[in-house]
Amino acid sequence: MGSLDDIDDLRDWLALAEKLGEVRAVEGAHWDKEIGAVSQANYQRHDPPALLFDDIVGHRRGQRVLTASMSNARRLGMTLGLGTDLDDKALVEALRSKPGEWAANASRYPVREVATGPVAQNVLGPDDIDLLQFPVPLWHEADGGRYIGTGCAVFTTDPGTGVLNAGAYRMQVQNDGRAASINIEAGKHGAAHVREWFAREGRAPVTASLGHDPLLLVVAGTEVPAGTSELEYAGAVRGRPVDVVKGEVTGLPIPAGAEIAVEGWLRPGRREQEGPFGEWTGYYSGGAEPVLTLDVERVYFRDDPILLGAPPGKPPHDYSYMRSVMKSAMIQDALIRCGLPGVEGVWAHEAGGGRQLLAVAIDQRYAGHARQAGYLAAQLPAAAYMNKFVVVVDADVNPRSLSDVVWAMCTRTDPAEDIETLRKTWGSRVDPLRERDAPPFNSRAVIDACRPWSRLGSFPRVAEADPALLDQVVKRWPDVLGGPR
Ligand SMILES: Cc1cc2nc3c(=O)[nH]c(=O)nc-3n(C[C@H](O)[C@H](O)[C@H](O)COP(=O)(O)O)c2cc1C
């Protein structure tokens, strides 16, 4: 194994990441807060490696947890099959138009059902189920419990069409390890499936994979169009179908190479208190609520299984980089598709969890262009959920640099003139600003940080060296200046 084309499961992914020097082992950490804290300290580093926890306190060696799987450009590029030598900008460029192509091609890659697979090396029935036999972390200090599903893919079907959906919906261990609550927010495709099954059959079948090629986390955790199976979409990314085994109880698919998978039925009245949980906003903002709970009827796992962890929290968190890159490419594509000219770059900043703060760089073409870019970006379906700020900058400003974006705001935005607000927009239950029991509206600002259109020709010149001179001096004093830019 050794090429991007060979990744079919988490073991293949790890082998390649290890070969690239992208994985560090952490031995002897405790599942109780320590794995979470080590992971957090790692996300805050520049260019964090993936961490593979082993020898976890209270658990057999070999029962592992992986975090930070896609927290840098190299591993995300590797996961998406786009290359391992791209920087943030090149990764977004390489990704642009791909999500649309993958969705369009998905139906050419129906899953391939196989009789058995590594996930079925161990199968436990109801009498033997204990999810806490795995090293399930208590990720954050004030979490309401231990979350086995963070980097998970929860599979449901549309009972009418049979179309499969996968969503990354967090799963908290319940009832001493015999059950798991599944927190599917209203509006998600999985929630619609479950509602429909309840109406038709009084119960809803579910399978969930808890460790897999991180590509499955990308597709489950990203807004793939309704009606498109995320497993077929993953097949389109890989260029070959995903192998699945059929769940013994529900008949729903389970990725054949999954590390750990669970199966059972959700029932309308079967809920357990879920949360609080450290959310992607950086707060325990969702509180605790009764949430639909799966009485697990089968657990499948490989020998020495690896749990794929992806805990959110105050950014940067486990998947904030992945979300930033995916959102940036999708929003840039959507702006161009709707006919906006002069789009030079988009970056969905990690500080806003990849949702709340967008920077859009444009080459200003006409009066009103900057505001148009801002209003459109703030309301595109790919961007509207939980956006708070869209900052529109000129093409000479790097939208990926928070410092450059803030500098443009400080010097090109007249606050009284150039900040527009939109009200009653699409917010979230987990917004820390939402008042208790209030509907999840929010408001947002479009900040025009472009040079004023009427002064484009006369705006003061930026006080910085010409790029050609900069290149020249960097080449001349490489030891002092760190080599070519
Ligand atoms: C690691 C991770 C955890 C997530 N946790 C949740 C969650 O607990 N509940 C939820 O509704 N969405 C969660 N999301 C977002 C959804 O997975 C995302 O909106 C996805 O598009 C949902 O799938 P769907 O569009 O098929 O419904 C999470 C995303 C990621 C990447």
The distance in angstroms from the start CA to the end CA of the chain is: 34
Distance (angstroms) between ligand 1 centre and the Cα of 320 equals 13
Give 478's contacts (C-beta < 8 A, 6+ positions apart).
484
The pLDDT value given to residue 3: 65
Q: Are the beta carbons of 76 and 325 closer than 8 angstroms?
A: yes
List, for residues 15-26, the tens digit of each pLDDT value.
Answer: 999 999 999 999
Please tell me the distance from the alpha carbon of residue 168 to that of residue 223, in angstroms, as a whole number: 10
Distance (angstroms) between ligand 1 centre and the Cα of 63 equals 26
Q: Is 332 in the pocket of ligand 1 (CB under 6 A)?
A: no
List, for residues 446-484, the tens digit of each pLDDT value.
Answer: 999 999 999 999 999 999 999 999 999 999 999 999 877
Rounded average pLDDT over 246-258 = 98
Instruction: Classify strands 306-308 and 64-67 as parallel, antiparallel or unpaired.
Output: parallel
Residue 168's nearest CA partner among 195, 186, 149, 181 is: 149
The three-state DSSP-derived secondary structure of 310-332 is CCCCCCCCCCHHHHHHHHHHHHH
If phi over 0 gives left and psi between -120 and 50 gives alpha, with beta otherwise, what is residue 388? alpha
**Has residue 73 got a pLDDT over 50?**
yes
**Has residue 417 got a pLDDT over 70?**
yes
The three-point CA angle 72-75-79 to 5° equals 130
Atom of ligand 1 nearest to the CA of 170: 8
**Has residue 87 got a pLDDT over 80?**
yes
Distance (angstroms) between ligand 1 centre and the Cα of 446 equals 26
Burial of 438 (0-12, 13-18, 19+ CB in 10 A): exposed
Residue of 170, 194, 292, 308 best suited for mutating to test ligand 1, as the one with most atoms within 8 Å of CB: 170
Longest dimension (CA), the chain: 77
Q: Which residue has the tokens 């036999």?
A: 133
Q: Are the beta carbons of 109 and 235 closer than 8 angstroms?
A: yes
The pLDDT value given to residue 1: 46
Atom of ligand 1 nearest to the CA of 166: 26
Residue 74's nearest CA partner among 83, 65, 66 is: 83
Beta strand ranges found along 267-370 (DSSP E): 271-274, 289-301, 306-308, 343-348, 357-362
Q: State the chain's mean pLDDT as an integer.
A: 97
Residue 295's nearest CA partner among 151, 434, 125, 169 is: 125
The SS3 call for residue 65 is strand
H/E segment holding residue 479: helix 478-481
Q: Are the beta carbons of 408 and 362 closer than 8 angstroms?
A: no
Distance (angstroms) between ligand 1 centre and the Cα of 293 equals 17
The type of residue at 369 is H
Please tell me the distance from the alpha carbon of residue 446 to that of residue 373, in angstroms, as a whole number: 9
Give 48's contacts (C-beta < 8 A, 6+ positions apart).
42, 68, 71, 72
Distance (angstroms) between ligand 1 centre and the Cα of 350 equals 17
Q: Is 169 in the pocket of ligand 1 (CB under 6 A)?
A: yes
List, for residues 300-339, the tens digit of each pLDDT value.
Answer: 999 999 999 999 999 999 999 999 999 999 999 999 999 9
Q: Give the pTM.
A: 0.96
Rounded average pLDDT over 49-77 = 98
Q: How many CB atoms lie within 10 A of CB 78?
A: 23
Please tell me the distance from the alpha carbon of residue 54 to that of residue 61, in angstroms, as a whole number: 6
Please tell me the distance from the alpha carbon of residue 292 to that of residue 169, in angstroms, as a whole number: 12
Give percent above pLDDT 90 in the chain.
96
List, for residues 335-366, the tens digit of each pLDDT value.
Answer: 999 999 999 999 999 999 999 999 999 999 99
Q: Is 179 in the pocket of ligand 1 (CB under 6 A)?
A: no
Please tell me the distance from the alpha carbon of residue 16 to that of residue 366, in angstroms, as a whole number: 48
The residues pairing with 361 across neighbouring beta strands, listed in sequence order, are 345, 393
Q: What interhelical angle do 88-95 and 98-105 show, nearest 10?
A: 40
The SS3 call for residue 393 is strand
